[in-house]
């Protein structure tokens, strides 16, 4: 099709031209004397994005799923008990992995559309008098439902229960788009992949580990070879990797980190909050509702839109793709056919997002959803113009001060 494809799945996200150019490099020796100049900056930059003071970052040639596996395999032993709320496809996949690795998972079943319940976590931890639960596993931003859990709240619940379990957080679709405070929230293991907020192709699995998580490594008996923290730490200490890294992705990462720092992390988070608000205004103007059940859990990076009964969301997604070259996210698991998802994370601006909203409107109209053409677009325009006027006033005030 002529023109650009509108990629609005919640990962992979748009590849900025700056990042694409940075990755166009000839192959080079990853054991050269100059290579550490590249790697040390990446560890520092990633720690800044995680909000990590003390701790270490590991970069695997992998994906978010690999980073999950790394975080588990380096800190837990077969038969260890862990606590995990399940409220969407990704929390489900994580639970499945933990079971397959031989962990005992106490699952807190939660209706999809809600987030991690701090009260139920505290209750389960208080009931665990012998402190058998070794980890609390929470997906920060559940990409399947557009739900962001309150990690600070989960940490408070763990503190109130005076429970020593480690806190594991899947930050795959939040890091680099939604504020994340690894050290302040005392997260022990946080994971991400390269293809979401970091604006790269898939191919890097990234783990941030606290000193407590690193200490757990000595007694952890799950098998690990490729994902061994110890091997990584040894090589990383001198600026190298234990095996061949994806060098172009590392150059891309250096560029995407500087894009985030050039814009300013707080501005990046504010931009995503503003975009998410506009998308929800559009959904309301269509007479539809987000899958997320309560405003406290609204995600700033993805909105899952519930379509009216008897309308097939999968058909809307197919039409959007075939007719308008717009890629929307599918409903996952039990949400298949019931929702379509709009990813609004990474490298994007208002006009790109208006294009996606306009395309979603056309595809919905094509499938008989009763809405007024342009209603969602207009609602988002209004939200963002208001936001931009307020921002400009703030900027003027800051300059005058
Ligand atoms: C995308 C995603 C993953 C999976 O990451 P991969 O890079 O595909 O392995 C895990 N968790 C969440 C919340 C995600 O959005």
DSSP string, 185-254: TT-SEEEEETTSTT-S-S--EEEEE-HHHHHHTTT--S--STT-HHHHHHHHTTT--SS---HHHHHHHH
Query: Which residue has its alpha carbon closest to ligand 1 atom 4?
Result: 64
Q: Pocket of ligand 1, candidates 9, 11, 116: which has the most ligand atoms within 8 Å of its Cβ, to mutate?
A: 11
Q: 177 CB less than 6 Å from ligand 1?
A: no
Report the percent of the chain where pLDDT is more than 90: 96
* Predicted local confidence at residue 386, as pLDDT: 83
Instruction: Give the distance (Å) from ligand 1 centre to CA of residue 397.
Output: 40
Interval between CA 56 and ligand 1 midpoint (Å): 21
Q: Is 6 helix (H, G, I), strand (E, B) or coil?
A: strand
The structure's pTM equals 0.96
What is the percent of the chain with per-residue pLDDT over 70, rounded to a whole number? 96
Q: Residue 396: is its pLDDT beyond 70? A: no
Question: Of 13, 91, 173, which is best to mutate to test ligand 1, by the most ligand atoms within 8 angstroms of its C-beta?
Answer: 173
**Ligand 1 touching residue 11 (CB < 6 A):** yes
- Tokens 């994906």, residue located: 63
Buried b (16+ CB within 10 A) or exposed e, 234-246: eebeebbbeeebb
Query: pLDDT of 155-192, one tens digit each?
Result: 999 999 999 999 999 999 999 999 999 999 999 999 99
Which domains does the chain carry?
6-11+264-400 (3.90.1150.10), 17-261 (3.40.640.10)
| Over residues 368-382, mean pLDDT | 97
User: Per-residue pLDDT tens for 264-323?
Assistant: 999 999 999 999 999 999 999 999 999 999 999 999 999 999 999 999 999 999 999 999
Measured from the Cα of 171, ligand 1's closest atom is: 13
Do 275 and 353 form a contact (C-beta atoms < 8 A)? yes
- pLDDT tens digit string along 197-233? 999 999 999 999 999 999 999 999 999 999 999 999 9
């Amino acid at each position: 099709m002529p023109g650009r494809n509108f990629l609005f799945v919640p990962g992979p996200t748009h590849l900025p031209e700056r990042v694409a150019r940075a990755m166009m490099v000839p192959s080079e020796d990853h054991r050269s004397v100059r290579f550490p100049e590249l790697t040390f900056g990446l560890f520092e930059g990633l720690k800044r994005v995680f909000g990590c003071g003390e701790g270490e970052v590991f970069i695997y040639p992998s994906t978010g799923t690999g980073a999950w596996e790394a975080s588990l395999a380096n800190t837990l032993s077969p038969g260890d008990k862990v606590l995990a709320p399940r409220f969407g496809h990704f929390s489900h996949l994580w639970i499945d992995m933990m079971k397959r690795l031989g962990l005992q998972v106490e699952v807190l079943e939660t209706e999809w559309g809600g987030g991690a319940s701090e009260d139920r976590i505290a209750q389960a931890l208080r009931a665990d008098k012998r402190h058998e639960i070794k980890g609390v596993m929470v997906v920060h931003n559940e990409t399947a439902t557009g739900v962001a859990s309150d990690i600070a709240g989960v940490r408070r619940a763990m503190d109130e229960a005076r429970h020593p379990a480690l806190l594991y957080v899947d930050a795959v679709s939040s890091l680099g788009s939604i504020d994340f405070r690894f050290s302040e929230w005392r997260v022990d293991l946080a994971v991400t992949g390269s293809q979401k907020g970091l604006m790269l192709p898939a191919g890097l699995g990234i783990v941030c580990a606290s000193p407590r998580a690193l200490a757990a490594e000595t007694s952890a008996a799950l098998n690990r070879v490729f994902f061994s923290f110890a091997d990584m730490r040894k090589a990383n200490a001198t600026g190298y990797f234990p095996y061949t890294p994806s060098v172009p992705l590392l150059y891309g990462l250096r560029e995407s980190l500087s894009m985030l720092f050039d814009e300013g992390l707080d501005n990046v988070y504010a931009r995503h909050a503003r975009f998410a608000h506009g998308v929800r205004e559009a959904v309301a103007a269509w007479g539809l509702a987000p899958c997320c059940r309560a405003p406290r859990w609204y995600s700033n990076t993805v909105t899952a839109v519930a379509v009216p009964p008897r309308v097939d969301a999968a058909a809307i997604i197919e039409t959007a793709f075939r007719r308008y070259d717009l890629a929307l996210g599918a409903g996952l698991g039990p949400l298949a056919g019931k929702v379509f998802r709009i990813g609004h994370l990474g490298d994007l601006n208002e006009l790109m997002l208006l294009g996606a909203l306009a395309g979603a409107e056309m595809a919905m109209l094509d499938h008989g959803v009763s809405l007024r053409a342009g209603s969602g677009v207009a609602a988002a325009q209004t939200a963002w113009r208001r936001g931009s006027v307020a921002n400009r006033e703030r900027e003027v005030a800051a300059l005058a001060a």
